Chain A
C-alpha cells in the first residue's frame, strides 16, 4: 500500500497563477485533510472532508478551494496564488468520519513557492 500520496512534490508559481494540488489515499479512509506548514510552525488546517461529498473549512481556508472527487482523492486548488501562500502543504487521511479522535496518516508534502 502506498498510503497517502501527493503530487507534485515541488512547485513554483508566479503571483496570480492557479494550480491544483492532488492527494490520494489507498487505505479506504473516510476522512481527508489539507494542512499548511510554514517554517518553524506547526500545521494549520485548511479544509477537511469527513466523507465523500462533504467538505468543511478549517482554520485558514481563505484563498483555497477543495474537491472530494471520490473516497480516494481530495484536491486543493489555489485560484490566484499569493506570496503568503508559500508553504509546505500536507494531505492526511483518517479512518473515521472526522473528529478529534482519529489517528491521521500523512503524505510526504508539496513544497510550494509563490513569487
Chain B
C-alpha cells in the first residue's frame, strides 16, 4: 500500500516550542506531500518533497525525506496557536494519493 502512517497520533505542545511529526510508508515513491487540516475544513497542501531531495524548507516548515528508511518528518518551528490542526502525509507514486489518519497537533498559548 502507498498509504503513509503518521506518528504520533496526537501531539500537545506550548506556543514557541517545535513540533515534529513522522511519516512512514512501504512502497517506492516519486514524491511525498504534507497537508494540513484545520478543524472542520478541507485539506491544504503544505509542501512537496521529491524522492531525490533530502530536505526542504518553507517558512517555519522543514521536511526531511529518507527513502532508504521510507520515512519523512515534518518539523514546525516556533509553533503558534494557529498551527493547531491535523497534519497528513501523502506518499506519491504511480497510484493515487492515499492519506493516513494524521497527527493531531494542539498548540497551547
What is the interface of chain A, defined by CB distance below 8 A to chain B?
A: 4, 33, 35, 40-43, 45, 48, 58-59, 90, 92, 98-109
In the complex, the chain A residue whose C-beta lies closest to that of B3 is: A42
Q: CB distance A58 to B96 under 8 Å?
A: yes
A35 to B90, CA, bound (A): 14
Q: CB distance A103 to B43 under 8 Å?
A: no
Q: CB distance A100 to B95 under 8 Å?
A: yes
A59 to B88, CA, bound (A): 18
For B92, B97, B101, which residue has the most chain A Cβ atoms within 10 angstroms?
B97
Q: How big is the B interface, by class? A: 20 to 34
* Besides A43-B43, A100-B31, 5 new A-B residue pairs in contact (Cβ under 8 A), listed by A number: A40-B101, A99-B94, A100-B29, A100-B95, A109-B40
Residues of A within 8 A of B78 (CB): none
Residues of A within 8 A of B90 (CB): 100
Q: CB distance B29 to A90 under 8 Å?
A: no
Residues of B within 8 A of A41 (CB): 101
A–B pairs, 28, beta carbons within 8 Å: A33-B96, A35-B99, A42-B88, A42-B100, A43-B43, A43-B88, A45-B98, A59-B98, A90-B42, A92-B42, A92-B43, A100-B30, A100-B92, A100-B93, A100-B94, A100-B95, A100-B97, A102-B92, A102-B97, A103-B33, A103-B45, A103-B48, A104-B43, A106-B42, A106-B43, A108-B42, A109-B40, A109-B41
In the complex, the chain A residue whose C-beta lies closest to that of B31 is: A101
What is the interface of chain B, defined by CB distance below 8 A to chain A?
A: 2, 29-31, 33, 35, 40-45, 48, 88, 90-102
Q: CB distance B95 to A99 under 8 Å?
A: yes
Residues of B within 8 A of A92 (CB): 42-43
In the complex, the chain A residue whose C-beta lies closest to that of B100 is: A42
A59 to B31, CA, bound (A): 21
Residues of B within 8 A of A104 (CB): 35, 43, 45, 97
Task: Give min CB distance, B70 to chain A, whole Å.
Answer: 15
